Amino acid sequence: MNPGKLQIVPLGGLGEFGMNCMALRWGDDIIVIDAGLMFPESELLGVDIVVPDIGYLLENRDKVRAILLTHGHEDHIGGLPWILSELNLPVFGTEFTLALVEGKLEEHGLLDSAQLNEVKPNERFRIGSFLIHPIRVTHSLVDCVALAIHTPLGVVIHSGDFKVDPTPTDGNLFDLHQFAEYGKERALLLLQDSTNVERPGYTPSERAVRPRFEEVFTRSKRRLFVSCFSSSIHRIKLVAEMAFEHGRKLALVGRSINEATEIAQDLGYVNIPEGTLIHPGQIRDFSPERVCVLISGTQGEPMSALSRAAVDNHKHAKIEPGDTVVLSSRIIPGNEKAIYRMIDHLYRRNANVIYEDGAGSPVHVSGHASQEELRLLINLVRPKYFVPIHGEFRQLRRHAELAASMHGAVGSVMMMESGDVLEIDELGARKAGRVTVGRVCIDSGSSSDVVEDLIIRDRRHLSEDGIVLPIIAINKLTGLVESIPEIVMRGFAAAGIENGFFSEAREVIGRTLEQSSREEKADYGVIKEKIRQDLKRFISKNTSRRPLIMPVILEI
């Protein structure tokens, strides 16, 4: 008798950074773990964010029971507004995670209809066929959990993002004991974060940055600007404590830093001593050596507070010679150019800039487990099946190799990518086909938000080959061309323009018009297409370029 099959379906986050989203299915019950976004690569022109294609969930909308969140980083909760606008599902998360989600849903007008359910570590709850056990883990964010999901076949453990921090600043320890309990009977499946698998050893504790911050605060003779991820509550707490200890007033500059600090204060994760916090407008009221500014914009985002301050374009944050700027964050791959350009601007202002340079004690530590912590968790859980998650393909492969080398601790290792379906039953585990996955591009300013592939293709086309606008004035009554066609070009530099390119192009348009009947000239759709085709052939033959050609017909 084969009572049923458990399916694990990653919809994003395997083979790419970000967009973490995974479905688990048993019979008629589907639960979704995380709903992340990713920031676009440079070739996705004008796109603000990218979220996973949830076609699989929409096809099975009557079976999807809930979304479970491991923690509050954007690559795990950022896609929620788009999923909830299609499927109004109950959402389960810890207190701090839901506080971040509330702000996000309020922005999109979805908060009133949202079903948000707070969970606490070690408090189990049931959803359909699944019994969920949240287990506390440590990460660069507070209030993070891994999920032990009890299914009829056994326990599936989803690690979420984690590192094993023995001395977390909030005192909430990584719950190794619970993982060990599941290891006594061997968990069915371990899904484990691969982000730092290329790093040997252990990831340093959050407290490892304190000595360097102590040194920076002691040595800085003028204003001190500290930039960190707004979600790094541990780091915000540390900066607030240091400012107080060194007699500096603290100003928060940047919307994301303000919002995150406010939530953390409300929930008791950050306690800023009375009289320490000042409004950004008061920065100039105090002598430079008595001010510390916590400012957003670690990744060189063009309109962020730090980027604007770096080019002296911020109302309150003025960086002057001798000021110290600390970038307390990692460089996210793909952002190098923007960050180093910003650092150059800071040096032009004669500021002292401190960023991750690998020398001495660090100004930033990672929130993800390195190789020894990954081994530790595998040894504790002793899973029957192991699947690496969260990372690009090289990291998934390295992680799979690391797990496979641990003989006795792991039954068998499976490699998966987004869209693969892993099926487990009493006979074993296997890949069982694929579901449709993909990326949905979101352009926040547009009317429909979702950007079609065609639009991105047009944007790329314009950026590479430019645009040509032939403007033709046609007399509506006679069908005659009233003046010499005008040609406007943008972003298109045709070789040989000085050698009569314009006049030849005009002749091409003239010939097209001559060879068209009066009816064709009266039908602007037809005449536009004829001019476009003939001009396209002429430009392609003469320049080997394919600009976007958009004829404009003026009625006279």
- Maximum average pLDDT range among 291-295, 463-467, 499-503: 291-295
Specify which residues 82 forms β-bridges with: none
End-to-end alpha-carbon separation of the chain, Å? 81
How confident is the model at residue 1, as a pLDDT? 29
**CATH architecture classification, 466-555:** Roll (3.10)
193 is an active site residue = yes
The yes-or-no verdict on residue 146 having pLDDT over 60 is yes
Domain boundaries, the chain: 6-202+366-442, 207-354, 466-555
Of the candidates 53, 161, 193, 534, the residue annotated as catalytic is 193
Identify the band that residue 494 occupies on the pLDDT scale cut at 50, 70 and 90. low
Confidence at residue 203, expressed as pLDDT on a 0 to 100 scale: 94
Q: How confident is the model at residue 44 (pLDDT cuts 50, 70, 90)?
A: low
Q: Which pLDDT tens digit goes with each residue over 433-473?
A: 999 888 787 766 443 455 556 666 676 667 777 888 888 88
Q: What is the pLDDT of residue 343?
A: 95
Structure confidence at residue 446 (pLDDT): 44
Mean of all residue pLDDT scores within the chain: 89
- pLDDT of amino acid 83: 92
Q: What is the CATH number of domain 207-354?
A: 3.40.50.10710
Domain 6-202+366-442 in CATH 3.60.15.10? The answer is yes
258 contacts 270 by C-beta, under 8 angstroms: no
Q: Tell me, what's the pLDDT at 50?
A: 82
pTM, to two decimals? 0.81
Q: How confident is the model at residue 499 (pLDDT cuts 50, 70, 90)?
A: low
Least confident stretch, 104-108, 287-291, 368-372, 491-495: 491-495
Q: Please tell me which residue in 76, 368, 390, 399 is annotated as part of the active site.
A: 368
- Rounded to 10 deg, the angle between the 371-381 and 393-404 helix axes is 50
108 as an active site residue: the answer is: no
Question: If you average pLDDT over residues 292-320, what whole number do you get?
Answer: 92
Q: Does the pLDDT value for residue 276 go beyond 50? A: yes
Instruction: Give the pLDDT confidence score for residue 450 in this predicted structure.
Output: 58
Q: Report the pLDDT averaged over residues 81-102.
A: 94
Question: Cα 245 vs. chain centroid, distance in angstroms?
Answer: 35
What is the mean predicted confidence (pLDDT) over 303-329?
93
Radius of gyration in angstroms for the set of CA atoms belonging to the chain, rounded to a whole number = 29
The answer to whether 379 touches 347, Cβ cutoff 8 Å, is no
Name 277's Cβ contacts closer than 8 Å, sequence gap at least 6: 249, 250, 251, 252
State mean pLDDT over 338-349: 93
Give the other-Cβ count within 10 Å of 272's Cβ: 19
> How many CB atoms neighbour CB 498 within 10 A?
8
DSSP SS3 for 374: helix
How confident is residue 2, by pLDDT bands cut at 50, 70 and 90? Answer: very low
Cα 241–Cα 247–Cα 252 angle in degrees, nearest 5? 60
Q: Token pair of 535, please?
A: 């001009």
pLDDT at 358: 52
- pLDDT of 16 strictly over 80: yes
User: What is the number of alpha carbons within 13 Å of residue 127 lying toward its C-beta?
Assistant: 24
- Residues 103-112 have pLDDT tens digits of 999 988 999 9
* Cβ neighbourhood burial of 499 (10 Å; 0-12, 13-18, 19+): exposed
Evaluate if residue 376 carries a pLDDT over 90: yes
Q: How far apart are CA 542 and CA 11, in angstroms?
A: 46
How confident is the model over 158-169, as pLDDT tens digits?
Answer: 999 999 999 998
